[in-house]
Structure 1
Amino acid sequence: MNVAEQKVAEQFEALYGAAPEGVWAAPGRVNLIGEYTDFNDGFVMPLALPHTAVAAVSRRTDGVLRVHSADVDGGVVQLGVDALEPLSGGGWAAYPAGVVWALREAGHPVTGADVHLASTVPTGAGLSSSAALEVVTAVALDELFGLGLGRPGIAVLAQRAENAFVGVPCGVMDQMASACAVEGHALFLDTRDLSYRQVPFDLAEQGLRLLVVDTRVKHALGDGAYAERRAGCEAGARALGVRTLREVPYARLPEELARLSEESVRSYVRHVVSDNHRVERTIALLDSGDARAVGPVLTEGHASLRDDLRVSCAELDLAVEAANRAGALGARMTGGGFGGSVIVLVEERAADSVAAAVEKAFAEAGLTAPRIFPAVPSPGARRL
């Protein structure tokens, strides 16, 4: 454990009066390509960040769950595991509590726990800070209680906690990335059957860098708009007579779109089917060793998110435009949108000048300075 991780263990002991049984970490993620495709049984390609949620955890046998966060003002939240109820409120505590609820609902004998959390995953940046909290809790409890869930099983359970307990209708990508990622790789995930492949993604070897631009803005429209787009995608699938939009072939997209009468549904379908195709194109480019050619695919994906799905915003568009004007190979928003982050593929030698150009554009627009850092493909959830 490094100094920060050791501090989490020490804080646990100060809170609960004994050393934890273990300390675990689970990362946030950025998604390289494939947005709003995961709840349509489609393809995604995330990679784990070095930023993690860290949890010190011990078992309890008395039905009590105690959770505490170093990142939130307030004391220990104490709950009874038998009394956990979906959407019962509780803010950040709903994420670890939801995992305990989902485990017990699935029949796993979780009899309580003491948990202390600290996270370096930026919140509100579209980098899956919530999935990191869920996955680190699930990995710790899986090991402590000997549940034998396996990493995809942990991800599915953490997704259920967010869907059914917290009330956010997310797909499984974030939790799979946090649970299953491998250092130096991106995760090519088929969300229909959770099969995945670790794709080597060593950009430094090719003289490239992937930057994350956290715009530091989050527009309140986000959650309800996400649910509306999910409903629109489901309506499109029903109208086309398929179970999910994954079943719509890209080669037949114009003909299928012509069958849809509602413009918003048509644009959502166009985005999802074309973004699945963009994931396949990206995989082919990476497999052939041509990572530079991924750049235009990213920019094309941003245009689809902006124009068809309409989940971008002025700050995200500005970051993409400024980066591309300054010589980036390509850029797009990542995550749910309405704020959050942009990823930028750039030649390593131009990374600093591109970052400076984005910062200058934000300053000239009177916006808060963005936070810019490299996305280094990092390990998934693990015991420290």
Structure 2
Amino acid sequence: MSPDPTTLAAAFDEAYQRAPEGVWHAPGRLNLIGEHTDYNDGFVLPFALDLGVSIAAARRDDGMLHLRSLQAADEGVVVPLEGGSVDGWAAYPAGVAWLLREHGIGGASLLIDSDLPVGAGLSSSAALECAAGLALCDLYGIEMDRRELALLAQRAENEHVGMPCGIMDQSASLLATDGHALMLDCRSGLSSQVPFAPAEAGLSLLVVDTRAAHVLTGGEYAQRRAECEEAARILGVPALRDVKDLAAALGSLADPVLRRRVQHIVTENHRVEAAVGLLRAGAVTELGSMLTASHLSLRDQFEVSWPEADVAVEEALRAGARGGRMIGGGFGGSAIVLTAADRAGAVRTAIIDAYAARGWTAPTIFEGNPAPGAHRVS
């Protein structure tokens, strides 16, 4: 469940000695399938979680941004609206505010709360950006198309945080609807809602926070992106999404690393389209094999998986799950497992026991259910 708006409003009153003008919520996202395809102009299929970031906010008339978080031990950050430099969590909402200044916003006080596990790869950063953007737009009466706001939030993360992310996370947080996944074409920005209700099919989608820290501002993510761009340059295509003949493309690349990257991106796009077809046909139970194929490709071709995710998927399959895969950018974070609901307990136990046997920190496992996108709560 998302943070309680009444409690957050009361905390805002205590922090700023005034009542907030509203509370806004933006969900984290879980990407069902389509990993690292977003910045290759490809296809993704995320959905919004019922966990996320909430922000209580009010306008200021001094041209300043006051940013506080209930999850941060510090006393907050104060920066001028015209720009500046800030590190850590505050860079995400500050970057959004600095870009929205071009659209006419003024100063603001923000108090942030979150129930998204940090480092789990569930896009707490995009949820923070989108909640801040929605709050600031509403406070100052700015009507902005949600696709435009998603692009602005992405730009804030690229320019002010230094993370070269694609558009998927912000789009999922702003555009997703309850009981659906979002089929997103990351080149055109066009999207459609795809029915996804695993419980109605007698299934459970488990999210496994592997407790391996997920930090994407390191060099690995940027390296994968650079490798994809280099492969596209050699192949003479705008992006790897445009590779139509995989065998010919692989034959044109001398570097085995680039061949592996291309193979993952091209086949992952196909898996997204196949998954959408299965969901539209009501064949949710057949999705498992797609998830597992995605995981193997991410592990072996794109080389972004990590031991805790591999063990979670392997043990889940051994316990009777239909499929599973790592999610997010990789190098830590979470995995998902699709299983029959009556096998969910056995799957959980198998994963937890496997971690214990290796002396690893116990994973956190919960159900991932499609939820509404960003909205004003009160």
TM-score range (shorter-chain normalised) is over 0.9
User: Taking structure 2 as the reference length, what is the TM-score of the superposition?
Assistant: 0.97
Amino acid at match of 2:36: Y
Match among 290, 310, 335 for residue 283 of structure 2: 290
Q: Secondary structure at the match of 2:50?
A: strand
The answer to whether 1:235 aligns with 2:261 is no
1:43-82 superposed matches below 5 A: 43-82=43-82
**C-alpha contact (below 8 Å) 1:99/1:138 kept by paired residues:** yes
The answer to whether 1:327 aligns with 2:324 is no
1:370 matched residue in structure 2: 363
Q: 1:96 to 1:237 in 2, by over 3 A?
A: same
Amino acid at match of 2:310: D
Task: Report the Cα offset of residue 61 of structure 1.
Answer: 2.5
2:247 matched residue in structure 1: 254
**C-alpha contact (below 8 Å) 1:63/1:80 kept by paired residues:** yes
CA distance in structure 2 between the aligned counterparts of 1:59 and 1:207, rounded to whole angstroms: 47
1:132 matched residue in structure 2: 127
**C-alpha contact (below 8 Å) 2:210/2:333 kept by paired residues:** yes
Count residues in correspondence.
377
Task: Report the Cα offset of residue 264 of structure 1.
Answer: 1.2
Match among 186, 201, 207 for residue 206 of structure 1: 201
1:28 matched residue in structure 2: 28
1:380 matched residue in structure 2: 373
1:126-275 superposed matches below 5 A: 126-218=121-213, 223-249=218-244, 252-275=245-268
CA distance in structure 2 between the aligned counterparts of 1:3 and 1:194, rounded to whole angstroms: 30
Per-residue CA distance 1:89-141 (angstroms, 9 max, x = gap): 4211101101011222xx21121100000000111000001001000000111
Q: 1:67 to 1:210 in 2, by over 3 A?
A: same
Q: 1:260 to 1:132 in 2, by over 3 A?
A: same
**C-alpha contact (below 8 Å) 2:2/2:53 kept by paired residues:** no
CA distance in structure 2 between the aligned counterparts of 1:218 and 1:362, rounded to whole angstroms: 15
Task: Report the Cα offset of residue 313 of structure 1.
Answer: 0.9
CA distance in structure 2 between the aligned counterparts of 1:118 and 1:3, rounded to whole angstroms: 7
CA distance in structure 2 between the aligned counterparts of 1:156 and 1:102, rounded to whole angstroms: 11
CA distance in structure 2 between the aligned counterparts of 1:366 and 1:203, rounded to whole angstroms: 32
Runs of at least 5 residues in structure 2 that lack an aligned partner in the other structure? none
Per-residue CA distance 1:61-103 (angstroms, 9 max, x = gap): 3211000000010113111111x24xx3421110110101122
Task: Report the Cα offset of residue 223 of structure 1.
Answer: 2.6
The answer to whether 1:90 aligns with 2:87 is yes
1:305 matched residue in structure 2: 298
Task: Report the Cα offset of residue 37 of structure 1.
Answer: 0.4
CA distance in structure 2 between the aligned counterparts of 1:239 and 1:2, rounded to whole angstroms: 46
The answer to whether 1:116 aligns with 2:147 is no
Let me know the Cα RMSD of the aligned residues.
1.4
**C-alpha contact (below 8 Å) 1:301/1:332 kept by paired residues:** yes
User: Taking structure 1 as the reference length, what is the TM-score of the superposition?
Assistant: 0.96
CA distance in structure 2 between the aligned counterparts of 1:36 and 1:345, rounded to whole angstroms: 21
Task: Report the Cα offset of residue 374 of structure 1.
Answer: 0.3
Q: 1:3 to 1:221 in 2, by over 3 A?
A: closer
Amino acid at match of 1:165: H
**C-alpha contact (below 8 Å) 2:177/2:371 kept by paired residues:** yes
CA distance in structure 1 between the aligned counterparts of 2:61 and 2:87, rounded to whole angstroms: 23
Amino acid at match of 2:118: T
**C-alpha contact (below 8 Å) 1:61/1:111 kept by paired residues:** yes
**C-alpha contact (below 8 Å) 2:45/2:272 kept by paired residues:** yes
Amino acid at match of 1:363: A
**C-alpha contact (below 8 Å) 1:222/1:336 kept by paired residues:** no
